[in-house]
Structure 1
């Protein structure tokens, strides 16, 4: 702001005044009340021959509409428009330490006027020669009162080698690189990870369905409530994998209602998975941690009402009150929602609050609760086995138990919260492999446990809930 005030105070006879520095270019232009509009481009700006090649400005432009100057009687006969170009990663840093395209920042201000709510937008173009792997960008305006960037009043159009920002006000503008996958190595791992996720989800869906059908067709069907809860979790995982596999192809059908319905069922399946994982933790708490008997009438029926009913209520409410929530999602939001990779039917950018509150928030609470349960169970196993013989055999059985509980409780989804810094690439690989095959792992664990002699107290203990 101090630079703007000094530039506005400069007196000059010509129509414009220019200052060139290694990382800063400024231009002050005199404009009249009958303003026809103005287009400024980096190609038309003078460049100092003393600047080193690495400091040459990248190509950019700003177009100011005729509506920029207010049509009022009090409008002075002459005003100054200050335009500033900055190329530095150090200024306007927000709390996220966000990266900017080319480190370019373009600013403009009109003397003695706060320009907002323009009827015609200011157009800012940023050229680039980078492979941006089709990630979306936000045209961002610096919010001085908050000390951060805001996309309010701006829209973006991503064209080949150009990002066009259209904003209804004047301030400082930049293009924030949305999505943490803006990495040189990302394009190389995108195809393998996509293939792994497709194959893994297909295998998990098939394994979950076969396990459920085997359970339903079994003549010696277990009356154990714990097994019934496992089958419900596998049912939720089956739906999640199926709708995830369908969400990609159906996004290309160009049917709004079909894509919206698929996205709604996909979120419903995700919420059902999280709910049944929380129910697994709650049931484990009743069996092993809460040692005295608890009587719950129609226990499984009530759990089903919670596991399938609450997610349905949430999704139906969204469809009624915020219909635009579902549609074709951007790549960044698809990643943030634990559903990897690109163009698919999911939650749109217009409903990021729904995603972060209902999906990320709910997942975080569920995973935190189940991690506490898992740690408590591991401590109990350690105490129970401390004075027993044949430690090696016990350790093997306990390892199988812990690995199975890790899958049942969904604690492997905690990897989604480690996608930052040097952990990003390993996290992506581990998350894709483990969680796309989660249903398959649960089926393997279930078959392994069913083949062992039933010496655990789970069957008898589960009779405390009827």
Structure 2
């Protein structure tokens, strides 16, 4: 009851003019209430922060700035004019802070007041900064880990400041190296989560790491900012970033051309196609979609691109990858039917059923994710870290991809792993049948060699190369990266070679049959 009376007493003082000492006292009381373990419901979280903002905006004080701080909150008020040149604000230039607080800072551009001064000519603008050194009031549904548990916020009067050409720079320092962690600059987006008063979003923010212990955020708006932390996979040496990037770009570009050429050749000779060839063409179509969306994913992850566009591309890329995995499994299943059921392989509307499975099932999974939780898609930061003698630097590459680790492990690694395992089993079973046939015939005829190449080309290239993703640890990391990138970026090109091989084999078999028929006629 005493806490409630003190809280409402502070609210009543908002309507009256107060001296600087009184304002400091009232603000300290309110901030101490916010630090106590009261209810963290939606209304209380919004109410606490809004009341604090109103007090700072309506406070009266002498001079150009006012600084107030408690154990876990620091608030600052600045008087600005239309001739604002911009300024930097760091923890070293403020009032003495506890040693336990890590350094932090914000840099505001001169453009900050331009919009307000163009629409009106205010005599004075208020810039307030509120720094929370506890994340109690900013809990999202994912229980995200924040760097130092710091939330740094800023607001200009009662105005909405966004789409700045010159970004606001927010610096976070840590007392230890951040190597091994993926860091992402985010802001608190109100109304972005059900059951919470907001959620963390990277929209409009770009992340940099000038050193191993510093994170620099470039954001085009004012709000409450923080840095999300999550454990990275085994760090990749940054010198590998350029060759891997070029291999991916060249491989995907070649694969796109190869897949497109294969589909065009199939359309040109569609009268000679059968269900097997059409299954191959569906796989080529999924590979074409996968490579195309992958090449676009880096460009669409730029801070200037709307997050909704990146989310749509990420969902499309995920759908293309799941479709590719599914058609790989369909190829393995079809190979099983061809080798295991030589007779009575007819299935009514076989191709239609396979298309529903190959294209419809992945689409259902992606749509379900979009309906349940669309935030699983968006900009994803991949870290390339480097150890040097006296310093550590990190480079980040952003792509539009799956942001949720759970979804990534279940619907990417798990789905792809099951596909690769299934095709490996089919390959082993197919080789066993061929070896049995060879042992019975006692001789390796030319067609048996062709069959061996066909089985290996179809099954290894259609899925088993993705199993390399499960060897990304220890001494296998660097070789696996290059092998995985080469095999799977040139995947469409290898399929094109296999398609040409199959056509050459069909022509050779047709010519052999014609020669056999002509020789039998000559004998008669």
Task: Pick the TM interval, shorter chain.
Answer: 0.5 to 0.7
Q: Does 1:343 align with 2:348?
A: no
Q: Is the 8 A contact 1:407 1:438 kept in 2?
A: no
Per-residue CA deviation, residues 24-57 of structure 1 (Å, 9 max, x unaligned), is xxxxxxxxxx99x9xxxxxxxxxxxxxxxxxxxx
Which whole-Å CA distance do the structure 1 matches of 2:349 and 2:459 have between them?
27
**Which of 360, 369, 375 in structure 1 is aligned with 2:422?**
369
- Aligned pairs (5 A) from 1:158-169: 159-161=209-211, 163=213
Q: Is the 8 A contact 1:211 1:443 kept in 2?
A: yes
Which runs of 5 or more residues in structure 1 are unaligned? Answer: 1-33, 38-63, 69-80, 84-115, 139-152, 166-174, 334-340, 457-466
Residues 447, 178 of structure 1: CA spacing in aligned structure 2 closer, same or farther, 3 A cutoff? same
- Aligned pairs (5 A) from 1:292-331: 293-331=344-382
Q: Does 1:280 align with 2:331?
A: yes
1:265 CA drift (Å): 0.8
Per-residue CA deviation, residues 30-88 of structure 1 (Å, 9 max, x unaligned), is xxxx99x9xxxxxxxxxxxxxxxxxxxxxxxxxx96159xxxxxxxxxxxx9x9xxxxx
Q: Describe the SS at the equivalent of 1:391.
A: coil
Residues 191, 278 of structure 1: CA spacing in aligned structure 2 closer, same or farther, 3 A cutoff? same
Q: Is the 8 A contact 1:239 1:269 kept in 2?
A: yes
Q: Give 2:265's aligned residue.
A: 214
Per-residue CA deviation, residues 343-387 of structure 1 (Å, 9 max, x unaligned), is 111112xx2222111111111111111110111011111111224
Q: Give 2:182's aligned residue.
A: 136
Which whole-Å CA distance do the structure 2 matches of 1:354 and 1:65 have between them?
40
Q: Is the 8 A contact 1:208 1:235 kept in 2?
A: yes
Q: Give 1:181's aligned residue.
A: 235
Which whole-Å CA distance do the structure 1 matches of 2:316 and 2:476 have between them?
31
Q: Give 2:82's aligned residue.
A: none
Q: Give 1:66's aligned residue.
A: 71
Q: Is the 8 A contact 1:128 1:161 kept in 2?
A: no
Q: Is the 8 A contact 1:374 1:405 kept in 2?
A: no
Q: Does 1:126 align with 2:174?
A: yes
TM-score (norm 1): 0.60
Q: Does 1:243 align with 2:286?
A: no
1:128 CA drift (Å): 6.1
Residues 406, 248 of structure 1: CA spacing in aligned structure 2 closer, same or farther, 3 A cutoff? same
Residues 285, 390 of structure 1: CA spacing in aligned structure 2 closer, same or farther, 3 A cutoff? closer
1:126 CA drift (Å): 2.9
Q: Is the 8 A contact 2:256 2:492 kept in 1?
A: yes
Which whole-Å CA distance do the structure 2 matches of 1:180 and 1:331 have between them?
11
Which whole-Å CA distance do the structure 2 matches of 1:439 and 1:207 have between them?
6
Between the two proteins, the alignment pairs up a number of residues equal to 319
Which whole-Å CA distance do the structure 2 matches of 1:448 and 1:370 have between them?
21
Q: Give 2:463's aligned residue.
A: 410
Which whole-Å CA distance do the structure 2 matches of 1:251 and 1:118 have between them?
30
Per-residue CA deviation, residues 266-296 of structure 1 (Å, 9 max, x unaligned), is 1110011011111111111222124552542
Q: Does 1:191 align with 2:242?
A: yes
Q: Is the 8 A contact 1:240 1:270 kept in 2?
A: yes
Which whole-Å CA distance do the structure 2 matches of 1:161 and 1:209 have between them?
44
Q: Give 2:87's aligned residue.
A: none
Which whole-Å CA distance do the structure 2 matches of 1:261 and 1:212 have between them?
26
Q: Is the 8 A contact 1:330 1:342 kept in 2?
A: yes
Q: Describe the SS at the equivalent of 2:174.
A: strand
Per-residue CA deviation, residues 133-172 of structure 1 (Å, 9 max, x unaligned), is x96149xxxxxxxxxxxxxx9999875325479xxxxxxx
1:200 CA drift (Å): 0.4
Q: Is the 8 A contact 1:229 1:280 kept in 2?
A: yes
Residues 392, 197 of structure 1: CA spacing in aligned structure 2 closer, same or farther, 3 A cutoff? farther
Which whole-Å CA distance do the structure 1 matches of 2:149 and 2:398 have between them?
30
Residues 388, 181 of structure 1: CA spacing in aligned structure 2 closer, same or farther, 3 A cutoff? farther
Q: Give 1:17's aligned residue.
A: none
Q: Give 2:392's aligned residue.
A: none
Q: Does 1:432 align with 2:480?
A: no
Which whole-Å CA distance do the structure 1 matches of 2:258 and 2:181 have between them?
34
Which whole-Å CA distance do the structure 2 matches of 1:204 and 1:437 have between them?
5
Which whole-Å CA distance do the structure 2 matches of 1:318 and 1:265 have between them?
12
Residues 158, 343 of structure 1: CA spacing in aligned structure 2 closer, same or farther, 3 A cutoff? closer
Q: Describe the SS at the equivalent of 2:397.
A: coil
